[in-house]
A and B are shown apart, each in its own frame.
Chain A
Amino acid sequence: MEAVVAVLLGLPMTLLVTAAAFAIGLVGGIPLMLGLRSRHRVVRLAVRFVVDLIRGIPPIVWLFVLFFGVSIGALRFNALAAAIVGLGIISAAYLAEIYRGGFATLPAGQTEAARALGLGRRSTFVRVLAPQAARTALPSVTTFLLALLKDSSIASTIGVTDMVFAANTFVRQNPMTAGLTPFFVAAAVYVAISIPLAIVARRLDARMRRSA
């Protein structure tokens, strides 16, 4: 029982890291996606390289670079900020790719029809393509959020006091009695949060397939 309380005290931090990194990713993914879709080959290739590079480096390395490596004058990231910024950067790269995928599945006829009706490039993009792409991308975005929730546990390695950190601390403080309970509690909470999200993702996906 003690273990349950101890681990649950870490839950708000898990949710905070996940939500903040997700928010950064949702917004940051947009300019990256625009870059991936750019008309200019150089821009497209450069942004493609950046996105692949961000995704090619494990999250734990990102967090260590930001937490231990970056100091601007006397300014250094604290653990929480490093975790949020690090996971936020990674989220932006993954979500940019998901957004791009949403646009890629749209039939070319949508653009052609909008242009034939006299819509400019910008209105075609904002009013015709983007709303449809958002719908297509939504299930993948939800799936990504699930992955991010689990990846937020990596923040514990730089000392963010999330659920995994709390479980670890409890095990170290009660080496004789704790056993594996704290980790099972943490695991159960992750699964408990994941299941409703997974159901939502599955429904969104099913609905999209029906209407497609």
Chain B
Amino acid sequence: MDLSLYLPRLLDGLGVSLQLTALSVVFGYALGLVFALGVSSIHRGLRWPALVVVEVGRGIPALVVLYIVYYGLPAVGVLLTNFWAAAAGLTFTVAAYSSEMIRAGIQSVPRGQGEAAAALGLSRLPTFARVILPQGLRSSIPALMGLAIQSFQGTSLAYSISVNELMSQAYQVSSLTFAYLTVYVVTGVIYAVIAVPATWVSVWVEHRLARGHA
């Protein structure tokens, strides 16, 4: 079986996978920040609901989240295409995971920073937004980069709700050609060609950031 015949289809699928990754990372991290602020809130009414949402989001397999969104939203009158259902489900999972990373980053900022800002006359909001948060986010960068790579791999689960991303294309191509082993190995290589160098970059960034802190 000639690789050049089905490689374009797989690469089309890869494009969809990358779109899903970009959407779920951008919206997931934004939502994750909101959840992180909720969990770190001093108000119980905010903290507990945020904590429940985050723990539930991290406790349920992404696959189950996808099925719930895919089958569930039409039931409540929201009609999404498979692609947007997958984007929504993955965004929720990414948000839950990223919020814990962002929260850990915020917590790792030494208390002296907040005290120093207060001593300089900054009020609570600027102290948080301009002193604590930037430093906290900086230390969560390595974890967030790792999560972005995981999210890219996680888009393969969208296969289960028939989004025409890389894994679905691989499935269709392999059932047309019967070249199961070749097609899936090539698919695995495509994922790895992106994920492995990305891992090296994230390790490099982690070293750079650690050096800056020392």
List residues of chain A with CB under 8 Å of any chain B CB: 52-53, 55-62, 64-65, 68-70, 150-151, 153-154, 156-157, 164, 167-168, 171, 179-180, 183-184, 186-187, 190-191, 194-195, 198
The stretch from B61-69, B113-121, B135-143 touching chain A is B61-69
The 8 A-B pairs at the shortest CB distance, nearest first, are namely A69-B181, A56-B192, A56-B195, A150-B61, A153-B61, A191-B59, A68-B180, A58-B153
| A-binding residues in B (CB < 8 A) | 55-56, 59-64, 67-68, 71-72, 75, 153-154, 156-157, 159-160, 167, 170-171, 174, 180-182, 184-185, 187-188, 191-192, 195-196, 199-200
Find A68's partner among B55, B67, B167, B174 (CB 8 Å cutoff): B174
Q: Establish whether residues B159 and A157, one from each chain, have CB atoms under 8 Å apart when the complex forms.
A: yes
CA distance A184 to B60 in the complex (A): 10
A56 vs B59: C-alpha distance in the bound complex, in angstroms? Answer: 23
Contacts A61-B184, A62-B188, A180-B68 given; indicate if A195 touches B59 (C-beta within 8 A).
Answer: yes
Selected from A69, A183, A198, the residue in CB contact (under 8 A) with B71 is A183
Contact of B191 among A58, A168, A194 (CB under 8 A): A58
Q: 9 A-B Cβ contacts within 8 A?
A: A52-B196, A56-B195, A56-B199, A57-B188, A69-B180, A69-B185, A150-B61, A164-B64, A187-B59
Taking a contact as CB atoms under 8 Å apart, the answer to whether A150 and B187 are in contact is no
**B199 lies within 8 A of A55 (CB):** yes
CB-nearest residue of chain A to B184? A65
